[in-house]
């Protein structure tokens, strides 16, 4: 017959190991409750209900692209809600089982595993910036150096796309200007997924590569630079005033992917914001209107970022020394020769696996950055 220790009113038994596990589980229950409150899981449950109602409408698939976005959003929200509900349920069930002395060792093991699981999930507390849950718009610009720098821009594009794929986010190239021999002069793409901006904002800035150039017959070592811009996709609630007289809008024939109309109609759109000189363009959507809407969305995000950086500079919020994401202010170096190293100059995070990082292993770098900005 199994030994059974009934819980007292204080939730304790006569078994020391079980009592220790119970105390750990109670602390964990409290942490889970406060974390779900901070993450507004109840609001996400309401959002799930709203999205579910939309998905059940008879005309839901009349616009397939919008329907796919809503379906993806629903799955992302559902996954997050279920994750925290499951964690809370597991803690409750373990406390209920804690009166059985025969499972004291197993209870201790499962409690430790549950604490580790919570610790992994707790990472989401770092993603509490105003736009961290938003989609992201990323642009990569090759620095000076011709083919070498353009190839580096393509390597960064591949790295970021692989990371997005690992997170199960959807991506779409919006505009591209390819190099003559290899790589990209510039490329812009959209990332759709929960917390996309929160994870990817660590990549905003100048990236430096040191390697033996595959384009150099003498096998000399080269240093290349590329600028990565990471912008949050802004909701319609954020108003950015754009005066018509401040905009110059040009249309031209698209040179990218986009269907039968490419290179036959003036579907690509370029918008210049005259007061700031900011230029954006989009050519990979199907119609001129879609390209214009997307270009306008990118322009608003850039202007919003410009205003934020201006305020940060004035207040010197960035550790008393303001540094913008400009040439000469590299955020990270990737050294492939004469040694192997990735060095993030902001967080001082170092890794000896640059090849894996370039294959999309960015989570450690993202986490280090999120912890650094919270200091």
Structural domain contains residue 233: yes
1 within domain boundaries: no
Kindly state whether residues 150 and 94 are assigned to the same domain. no
Boundary-marking domain end, from 125, 156, 190:
125
pLDDT band at 2 (very low <50, low <70, confident <90, very high): very low
Question: How confident is the model over 132-142, as a mean pLDDT?
Answer: 95
Q: What is the pLDDT of residue 196?
A: 95
Question: Number of folded domains in the chain?
Answer: 2
Length of the chain: 375
CATH number at residue 39: 1.20.58
Q: Which residue carries 């214009």 as its tokens? A: 292
Instruction: State mean pLDDT over 287-301.
Output: 94
Residue 254 pLDDT class (50, 70, 90 cuts):
confident
Last residue of a domain, one of 125, 145, 173: 125
pLDDT of amino acid 173: 95
Task: Give the neighbor-by-neighbor strand order of the sheet with 268-273.
Answer: 247-252, 268-273, 278-282
Domain limits for position 315: 127-375
The dihedral sign for the CA sequence 367, 369, 374, 375: positive
Whether residue 3 lies inside any domain: the answer is no
Q: Mean pLDDT, to the nearest integer, of 8-33?
A: 72
Give yes or no: residues 142 and 119 share one domain: no
Residue 326: band (very low, low, confident or very high) from pLDDT cuts 50, 70, 90: low
Q: How many CA atoms lie within 13 A of 162 on its CB side?
A: 15
185 and 304, same domain (yes or no):
yes
The residues that bridge with 137 in the sheet, in sequence order, are: 190, 231
Judge whether residue 86 has pLDDT over 90.
Answer: yes
User: 176-190, 212-226, 322-336, 357-371: which range is least confident on average?
Assistant: 322-336
Neighbours of 26 (CB within 10 A): 13
- Cite the DSSP H helix spans in the chain: 16-38, 41-55, 64-97, 104-121, 147-166, 196-200, 288-315, 354-358, 363-374
pLDDT at 7: 46
Residues 142 and 55 in one domain: no
* pLDDT for position 191: 97
pLDDT band at 226 (very low <50, low <70, confident <90, very high): very high
Mean pLDDT of 196-213: 94
Instruction: Give the pLDDT of residue 9.
Output: 42
Residue 14 pLDDT > 70: no
Chain segment 139-173, per-residue pLDDT in tens: 999 998 889 999 999 999 999 999 999 999 999 99
Are 297 and 153 in the same domain? yes
Same domain, 60 and 143: no
Q: Residue 217 is encoded by which pair of tokens? A: 């017959």
Rounded CA-CA distance 153/348 in Å is 23
The residues near 256 (Cβ < 8 Å, ≥ 6 apart) are 173, 175, 176, 262, 268, 283, 284
Decide if 22 contacts 30 (C-beta within 8 A): no
- Give residue 58's pLDDT: 92
Do 187 and 334 fall within a single domain? yes
CA distance 26 to 88: 11
What proportion of the chain, given as a percentage, has pLDDT over 90?
Answer: 53
How far, in Å, CA of 362 to CA of 202, rounded? 9
Residues contacting residue 11 through CB under 8 Å, at least 6 positions apart: 22, 26, 95
Burial of 5 (0-12, 13-18, 19+ CB in 10 A): middle
User: What is the helix (H) or strand (E) element at residue 330, kind and residue range?
Assistant: strand 330-335
Bridging pattern class, strands 247-252 and 330-335: unpaired
Residue 308: per-residue pLDDT: 86
Angle CA(283)–CA(287)–CA(291) in degrees, nearest 5?
A: 45
**Same structural domain for residues 157 and 252?**
yes
pLDDT at 216: 78
- Nearest partner of 302 among 327, 273, 329, judged by Cα: 273
If asked whether residues 363 and 244 sit together in one domain, one would say: yes
Q: Which of 365, 299, 367, 359 is nearest to 164 (CA)?
A: 359
C-alpha closest to that of 84 among 107, 114, 126, 112: 114
pLDDT at 4: 43
pLDDT at residue number 291: 94
Lowest mean pLDDT among 215-219, 238-242, 366-370: 215-219
Mean pLDDT across the chain: 86
């Amino acid at each position: 017959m199994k030994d059974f220790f009934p819980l007292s009113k204080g939730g304790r038994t006569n078994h020391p190991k079980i009592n220790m596990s119970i105390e750990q589980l109670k602390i964990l229950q409290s942490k889970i409750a406060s974390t779900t409150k901070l993450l507004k899981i109840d609001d996400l449950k309401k959002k799930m209900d709203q999205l579910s109602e939309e998905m059940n409408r008879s005309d839901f698939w009349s616009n397939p692209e919008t329907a796919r976005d809503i379906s993806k959003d629903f799955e992302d929200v559902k996954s997050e809600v279920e994750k925290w509900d499951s964690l809370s349920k597991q803690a409750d069930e373990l406390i209920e089982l804690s009166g059985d002395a025969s499972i004291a060792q197993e209870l201790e093991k499962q409690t430790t595993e549950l604490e580790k699981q919570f610790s992994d999930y707790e990472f989401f507390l770092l993603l509490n910036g105003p736009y961290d849950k938003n989609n992201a718009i990323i642009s990569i610009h090759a620095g000076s150096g011709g083919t070498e720098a353009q190839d580096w821009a393509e390597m960064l594009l591949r790295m970021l796309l692989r990371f997005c794929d690992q997170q199960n986010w959807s991506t779409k190239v919006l505009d591209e200007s390819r190099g003559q021999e290899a790589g990209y002069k510039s490329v812009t793409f959209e990332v759709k997924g929960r917390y996309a901006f929160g994870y990817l904002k660590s990549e905003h800035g100048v990236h430096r590569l040191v390697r033996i150039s595959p384009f150099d017959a003498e096998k000399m070592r080269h240093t290349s630079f590329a600028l990565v811009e990471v912008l949050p996709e802004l909701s319609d609630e954020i108003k950015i005033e754009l005066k018509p007289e401040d905009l110059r809008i040009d249309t031209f024939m698209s040179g990218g992917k986009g269907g039968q109309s490419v290179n036959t109609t003036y579907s690509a759109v370029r918008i210049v914001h005259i007061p700031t000189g900011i230029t954006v363009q989009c050519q990979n959507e199907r119609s001129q209107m879609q390209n214009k809407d997307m270009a306008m969305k990118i322009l608003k995000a850039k202007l919003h970022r410009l205003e934020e950086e201006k305020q940060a500079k004035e207040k010197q919020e960035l550790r008393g020394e303001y540094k913008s994401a400009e040439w000469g202010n590299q955020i990270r170096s990737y050294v492939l020769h004469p040694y192997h190293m990735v060095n993030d100059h902001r967080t001082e995070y170092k890794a000896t696996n640059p090849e894996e990082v370039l294959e999309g292993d960015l989570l450690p770098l993202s986490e280090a950055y999120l912890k650094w900005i919270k200091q």
